[in-house]
């Protein structure tokens, strides 16, 4: 919806006047490579999308926060001084979790009405949740202190960290920092090469010279709350504990090099733990190699690394499944495809493929048909456009 229509819809839900309304936006992301490395202190290489969550916000005079979305009918209403009482809502958890963490961090969170328009497909592995979190964080912080946006800058890295804490403490998913960081710090036409150990980062221009990143959505809904995600994280921690006996200075799996792994893998006697560690160690190296390849314009090498990443997530980390594997297998059969892999946590969600521009229509048609034949329902396709991170947008009626 354009801003005029959004404001009209907001007033339809909440009444009152448009005088103090402000609009904020934060995007979803696609990860180019580096999966399940973030919570192991490793490297990731995501880019923010132009698909985003928009939030229309207006302050209130009391301590109530009210939430609605353009595609919902039931409003969530919560007391800012008692947020813990609202855990386990069907919708609204991410927003209230962020409010809770902002209050804990000392921000002045004031009562407000918030209406969301979500353009990031929910549960698709494109970080719809981080988009909601960051849009909420920027909105709440801006409403609570009018200096933000005028003389003060919002610390977007802090917003990412606070949003990640909301996932840990309010939602119960022990996610890494990648999604929130990408949603907060994304830059148009750039990918973020992020070191998750100290949050240092570099914006790398994504110049694909005749190629595009095509996102294919399995349309298989999944939720990270189901436990598989936290289970993978625990397995990595178990692997680290064992390797620490021979590499005591290691604080996370990122500190284990490929050479270390080959030298000491015999200590990982549990095959599952060994596979998880092997994935993480080599995936970190693939991120470094991919950043170099993209900087040098070596798309063929980048495509190969994407393929290796998927195969490792399928065989070693075991987070793909029939839907993602079918999309990837079919993509790789197409002419003009340099690489294809799952993106995000896995267990459903999306893949990303590097496809020659002139072959995209054919790609969508053939992969779409083969997927429908094998899986029984449709996949959806989007051409990635890389956009900016979370921010306030000027209201244009």
Q: Which residues lie near ligand GLA (CB under 6 A)?
A: 35-36, 38-39, 175-176, 178-179, 344-345
Of 65 and 135, CB closest to ligand GLA: 135
Q: Kindly report the length of the chain.
A: 397
Of 112 and 224, CB closest to ligand GLA: 224
Cβ contact 24:142 at 8 Å: yes
> Exposed e or buried b for every residue in 299-314, given b needs 16+ CB within 10 A?
bebbbbbbbbbbebbb
Secondary structure of residue 290 in the 3-state scheme? helix
Of 102 and 196, CB closest to ligand GLA: 196
Q: Which of 100, 113, 179, 388 is catalytic?
A: 179
CB of 195 vs ligand GLA, minimal distance in Å: 14
Of 230 and 357, CB closest to ligand GLA: 230
> What tokens does 204 get?
């790398």
Cβ contact 164:139 at 8 Å: no
d(CA 85, CA 372): 43
Of 41 and 92, CB closest to ligand GLA: 41
CB of 301 vs ligand GLA, minimal distance in Å: 21
CB of 38 vs ligand GLA, minimal distance in Å: 5
Contacts of 328 (CB under 8 A, 6+ apart): 310, 320, 340, 341, 342, 351, 353
d(CA 117, CA 123): 15
CB of 227 vs ligand GLA, minimal distance in Å: 14
179 is catalytic: yes
Provide the 10 A C-beta neighbour count for residue 202.
12
CB of 169 vs ligand GLA, minimal distance in Å: 15
Catalytic residues: 179
């Amino acid at each position: 919806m354009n801003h005029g229509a959004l404001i009209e819809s907001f007033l339809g839900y909440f009444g009152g006047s448009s005088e103090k309304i402000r609009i904020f936006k934060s995007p979803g992301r696609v990860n180019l490579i580096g999966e399940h490395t973030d919570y192991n202190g490793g490297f990731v290489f995501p880019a923010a999308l132009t698909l985003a969550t928009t939030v229309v916000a207006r302050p209130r005079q009391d301590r109530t926060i009210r939430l609605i979305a353009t595609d919902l009918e039931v409003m969530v209403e919560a007391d800012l001084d008692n947020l813990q009482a609202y855990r386990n809502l069907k919708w609204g958890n991410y927003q209230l979790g962020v409010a809770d963490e902002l209050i804990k961090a000392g921000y002045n969170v004031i009562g407000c009405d918030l209406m969301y328009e979500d353009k990031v497909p929910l549960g698709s592995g494109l970080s719809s949740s981080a988009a909601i979190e960051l849009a909420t964080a920027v909105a709440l912080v801006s409403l609570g202190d009018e200096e933000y946006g005028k003389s003060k800058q919002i610390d977007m890295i802090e917003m990412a960290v606070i949003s990640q804490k909301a996932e840990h403490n309010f939602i119960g998913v022990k996610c890494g920092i990648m999604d929130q960081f990408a949603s907060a710090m994304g830059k148009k036409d750039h990918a973020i090469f992020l070191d998750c150990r100290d949050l240092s980062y570099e914006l790398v221009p994504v110049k694909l010279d005749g190629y595009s990143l095509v996102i294919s959505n399995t349309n298989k809904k999944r939720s990270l709350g189901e436990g598989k995600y936290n289970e993978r994280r625990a397995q990595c921690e178990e692997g680290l504990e064992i390797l620490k006996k021979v590499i005591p200075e290691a604080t996370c799996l990122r500190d284990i090099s490929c050479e270390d792994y080959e030298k000491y893998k015999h200590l990982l006697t549990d095959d599952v733990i060994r596979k998880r560690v092997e994935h993480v160690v080599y995936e970190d190296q693939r991120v470094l190699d991919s950043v170099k390849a993209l900087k040098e314009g070596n798309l063929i090498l980048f495509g190969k690394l994407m393929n290796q990443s998927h195969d490792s997530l399928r065989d070693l980390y075991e987070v793909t499944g029939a839907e993602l594997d079918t999309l990837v297998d079919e993509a790789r059969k197409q002419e003009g495809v340099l690489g294809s892999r799952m993106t995000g946590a896995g267990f459903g969600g999306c893949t990303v493929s590097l496809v020659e521009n002139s072959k995209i229509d054919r790609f969508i048609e053939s992969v779409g048909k083969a997927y429908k034949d094998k899986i029984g329902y449709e996949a959806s396709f989007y051409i990635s456009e890389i956009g900016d991170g979370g921010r306030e947008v000027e209201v244009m009626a």
